[in-house]
Amino acid sequence: HIPDDSLIMSFGSGYGGNSLLGKKCFALRIASRIAYDEGWMAEHMLIMSVTNPKGEEKFVCAAFPSACGKTNMAMLTPSLPGWKIMCVGDDIAWMRFNDKGELRAINPEAGFFGVAPGTNHKTNPNALESCMKNSVLTNVAETDDGRFFWEGLESEYESDTKITTWLGEKTTVGAKTATPKAHPNSRFCCPASQCPIIHPKWEDPAGVPISVFMFGGRRPEGIPLVFEARSWRHGVMIGAQVKSEATAAAEFKGRQVMHDPMAMRPFMGYNFGKYLEHWLSLEKPGRHMPRIFHVNWFRLDSNGRFA
């Protein structure tokens, strides 16, 4: 990446983030630098709408590091009666303030590039339905009759169903293997238009008005389930101190807790100090600044279960 020239060069990479150049490379690393120069935002955030039983709709952006639940949250199925959630995007948000002081967000992507293992009809039925056709599945296992398989889909198949693992080994769904049957960072890539809860305004060039920012990471202890920032400046500080356990998409092994400010550590296209100055400079008279929250879906209780 050469942000000064808005230039990207990639050769020989099979890693999605470094080969799908319109995604992280342009839409975050290069775009964040352009946004800094022009006074807007390019962030590693989902965009979703939440509608309460009264029919009042609010739009939310949320920034979590890779494999911390962005796609699951963006496609959430509410368990509360009368509530409705719709997805605008699950990974990247471009935002700018309009003449009315509203922060408007668009999803610059055409589809979803989600982590496959763990995705099933219980954890994320909308994501699974989205990739049932017109989709590219990488480094997953395959059944003998041509269906896909990964960890988390065991209940979808008979245990004696024959599969070929991502490493080319022959086994069955129920058999124990020394290595995962699908790569831990295997992916599904599918059109957003196939998502059962895609928002009708997901391609609206005017964007959607953002009322809330959420930050969060994978923190087993020490961080509350949810708290709200007292001000925009306080919220920027909260976003800057985001930390998370390393995931399959990171270069660090094990369960090391890593700093990941704004969930942008791998994707910032310019100096971090300037990035924070840019966030702080966005608060101006007449602008409706989003409320900022920090969440932690991954807090464990004394028995090691999710709180």
Mean pLDDT over residues 147-169, rounded?
A: 97
Q: Where in the chain is the domain with CATH 3.90.228.20?
A: 3-112+197-295
Q: What mean pLDDT is reported for the chain?
A: 95
Mean pLDDT over residues 10-27, rounded?
A: 93
Alpha-carbon distance 147 to 189, whole Å?
15
Count the helices and strands in the chain (H runs, E runs). Answer: 6, 18
* 172-189 pLDDT per residue, tens: 999 999 999 999 999 999
Helix (H, G, I), strand (E, B) or coil at 239: helix
Confidence grade of residue 249 (pLDDT, cut at 50, 70, 90): low
Q: Where in the chain is the domain with CATH 2.170.8.10?
A: 115-191
- Position 255 scores a pLDDT of 73
Percent of the chain at pLDDT exceeding 70: 97
Alpha-carbon distance 185 to 211, whole Å?
32
- Position 252 scores a pLDDT of 57
- Position 299 scores a pLDDT of 93
For residue 168, pLDDT beyond 80: yes
What architecture (CATH level 2) is domain 3-112+197-295?
Alpha-Beta Complex (3.90)
What architecture (CATH level 2) is domain 115-191?
Beta Complex (2.170)
Mean pLDDT over residues 56-76, rounded?
A: 93
Confidence grade of residue 247 (pLDDT, cut at 50, 70, 90): low
Which residues lie closer than 8 Å to 77 by C-beta, 6 or more apart? 85, 125, 126
Alpha-carbon distance 159 to 156, whole Å?
9
Among 215, 217, 235, 248, smallest CA distance to 289 is for: 235
Among 209, 167, 159, 173, smallest CA distance to 48 is for: 209
- Position 307 scores a pLDDT of 85
